[in-house]
Structure 1
Amino acid sequence: MTSTQASVDVLDQLADIAPDSPLAAARTTRDAATSHIQGSYRALFTAGDGIDFPLPERFEVARQVALWHGDSRLADHYAALQAAVAPPAGGARLEAALSHAQLLSHHPAGATPGHLAGLRRVGWSLDAIVTLSQLIAFVSFQSRLLRGYRLINHQPVANPSDQAAPAGRWRTGGRTHQERSAPQAFTQRELGWEPWIAAKKLTEFSPQQQTTLVNNGHADSDYFRLLGRNLAVLEQRTLTDKGIFYTSGGLTRKERELAAAVASKVNGCIYCASVHARKASQLSKRPDDIQRLLDIPSGSVLSTGQSPRWQAIIDFAAALSASPAVAGVGQLTRLRELGLSDLELLDLVQATAFFAWANRLMLTLGEPFDDEARP
């Protein structure tokens, strides 16, 4: 990708967002998120560390992930970038990456330590596995942003459905890979998380990198020191997260956290749901409603028993989180009828879509454990 291509906001371009549109104004209001979403894209697709994971392979994986998520225009974008460079080498290494990408796209809760071991056997380094995981998860995020932007922007989307998307499947094994107690149901309790491949020790980072980790509150976390194997992407992702969730005005923070919990239920991520359901409970003072959401069984409608506003938010967030996404104009119209502004809709789309990224990392690089569980 050339420097000129990298400077163009790819989401503006692919969603046909006019500079004078209400959506463009909302994205300007959320300038931190807008800037660092683009920064994440640049970090993944203009990287100089091409030995472990060359750009032709990155573009091919991204193209396929976009297709699996039902976004042909995003897939064409990556195909055009790939056509401008050498074709990918192919072979067992790329085949393994694409097989892994398909699993992460459709059913991330089905990942196991064995899938990462399979990548190692065909030559993927630990650093490259982290970059591959980030890329797959980021394109999953991108595809949902684009769908949401097109809906806000009154543009058609592929395969819309006004049917409520159900809760997904999740892991129910009693023990983790390291033989800790594993949570078998969604909970608001605090959980731990263990990696399936080695997180770097803080001392293995350079002094400057250690400062970056410390400043972002990541130094003591196995999860973030694992993602620190590609620190440029991690830093942009962290700033994207803050730009989406820690901004004033627009959608209330409690409803952004609600959307994160909904996405995590659809994707089967017990760990992420525990964090964000707990925050939604604390902020909304509605712990019973949040627990009702967490208790919905796989295959059932997530908005059952909720207030009209929360039903509409949950239904939209679930439909945007489905793989592939099925959110349609009917769900967005209902939100507008309830009074949500373009900025609030943007916040809802971005908070939901971010967990297409976050869940896919949490579910495929490790797993939660529950120290409070009985043996």
Structure 2
Amino acid sequence: MTQSQDLLQKLADIAADSPLAEARLTREAATTHTQGSYDVLFSGNDSGDFPLSLRLALAEQIARWHGEESLAVHYTGRITTAPAEDRLASALAHAELLTFKPASAEPSHLQALEQAGWSKEAIVTLSQLVAFVSFQSRLLRGYRLLNGENGSAAGSQPVTAAAWRTEPQTLSGKNAPPAFTREELGWEPWLAAKPLAEFNALEKATLAKFGHTDSDYFRLLARNLPLLEQRTLTDKGIFFTSGGLPRKERELAATVASKVNGCIFCASVHARKAAQLSKQPEDIQRLIDTAPGKPLAVDQSPRWLALIDFAASLSATPPTANVKQLATLREQGLSELELVDLIQSTAFFAWANRLMLTLGEPYTETV
């Protein structure tokens, strides 16, 4: 990929010979498929039920909500026609919910979109777009910090754990998990997953390649299969690569982001992985047990305190991660590549959490 094709390198003004550029090149798959996800979402024209002008207008607003002016200006500059006001209004209402309060989403929000004329495919793409720009904004924030921008070292209030819903049952009548846990949970969609029989042979092969065939969640996202493929490759490029930040700490970052966003399902998956890999289940359990409204970065080793504090701040909306936190991480010995891994692992769950929280809900087999 050349610099002209790498939007985030351009917006963060990353010099080609810098340590940050070298770290991103080391994580070439994540860099390439982050751009690939952008390309899928923001290519095409103004035909169809989710035209490009509407996608760009939404992305501009989401970037502004995250305080990323350069990203917002980029999207503004690509708009050539004004989107239809009625479509923009319904899309912005959904985007605002996903951006600021994803854990407050309910099935009625998707029903409202359908009543406003959105197809299932367009709803999935809309949700992906909001979640992707939330991810993209956090990457840009993190890269700018690493690149020496945002010179303020001022601290901010600690980011706290989110609350979880109190309904005892899911929409379909299954038992809803009452609290954050490391136990295994199920997940069911509010919007119908695409039946396997409706995929052609090539599409089925793509699903099978990534192990998505039997998953309602992934067959729902496969209503936009090209984007799902790029997203999956981005995920693999961030979490399944050698060197850099130990995998256990990438999973720790994913758990922190999930606690900030209130995603009980993602928190259970990645807390379980972090506990297994770190062999520190008690430390992970303390993090999982953090009560709503309480700071997450407490009662851990100095290294983990610094990791948790930064990941929580980057997960806030808008992000509050700052150069003082970055300096503390460097004092703990993190290299440039480890810092890039931390930023990318945290930011990816701005994407993942927003999909899990707003397209369906978790359930448990126990009360």
**TM-score under structure 2 length normalisation:** 0.97
Corresponding position of 1:62: 59
Q: Which residue of 2 aligns with 1:180?
A: 174
Alignment correspondent of 2:14: 17
Are 1:74 and 2:68 counterparts? Answer: no
Query: 2:189 corresponds to which residue?
Result: 195
How far apart, in 2, do the equivalents of 1:364 and 1:135 lie? 13
Residue of structure 1 in register with 2:33 after alignment: 36
SS at match of 1:367: strand
SS of alignment partner, residue 166 of structure 1:
coil
Per the TM alignment, residue 168 of structure 1 is displaced from its structure 2 partner at its CA by 1.6
Alignment CA distance shift 1:90-1:44 (3 Å): same
Partner of 1:298: 292
Question: Which digits, 9 at most, give the CA deviation of each residue in 1:226-264, with x for residues without a partner?
Answer: 000000000000000000000000000000000000000
Root-mean-square deviation (CA), in Å? 1.7
Indicate conservation of the 8 Å contact 1:162/1:330, yes or no: no
CA distance in 2, matches of 1:160, 1:321: 18
Match of residue 50, structure 2, among 53, 73, 78? 53
Misfit runs of 4+, over 3 Å: 4-7, 47-50, 157-163
Contact in 1 for aligned 2:238/2:341 (Cα 8 Å): yes
Equivalences for 1:194-233 in 2 at 5 Å?
194-233=188-227
Q: SS at the partner of 1:193? A: strand
For residue 267 of structure 2, the aligned residue among 273, 282, 297 is 273
Deviations 1:96-138 (A, max 9, x none): 1101100110010010000000000110000000000000000
1:1-375 correspondence runs (5 A): 8-47=5-44, 50-82=47-79, 85-91=80-86, 93-156=87-150, 161-371=155-365, 373-374=366-367
TM-score normalised per structure 1: 0.95
Kept in 1, the 8 Å contact 2:4–2:10? The answer is no
Task: Please state how far the C-alpha of 1:161 moved relative to its aligned partner.
Answer: 3.7
Segments of 5+ residues of structure 1 without an aligned counterpart are: none
Asked whether the 8 Å contact 1:150–1:157 carries over to 2, the reply is no
Structure 1 residues 117 and 6: CA distance shift in structure 2, 3 A: farther
CA contact (8 A) 2:248 2:273 kept: yes
Retained in 2: the 8 A contact 1:159–1:326?
A: no
| Rounded Cα–Cα distance in structure 1 between residues aligned with 2:236 and 2:340 | 15
d(CA) in 2 for partners of 1:170, 1:330: 31
Does the CA-based 8 Å contact 2:107-2:190 persist in structure 1? Answer: yes
Distance in 1, Cα, partners of 2:213 & 2:117? 28
Amino acid at match of 2:42: F
Q: How far is 1:298 from its partner?
A: 0.9
The amino acid that maps onto 1:295 is D
C-alpha distance in 2 between matches for 1:199 and 1:49: 26
**Which stretches in structure 2 are left out of the alignment for 5+ residues?**
none
CA distance in 2, matches of 1:52, 1:7: 30
1:9-50 Cα deviation digits (max 9, x unpaired): 110011110001000000000001000000000010014694
CA distance in 2, matches of 1:274, 1:321: 17
1:344: Cα distance to partner?
0.2
SS at match of 1:143: helix
When the two structures are aligned, how many residues end up with a matched partner?
367
Which deviates more from structure 2 when the two are superposed, residues 240-249 or residues 163-172?
Answer: 163-172
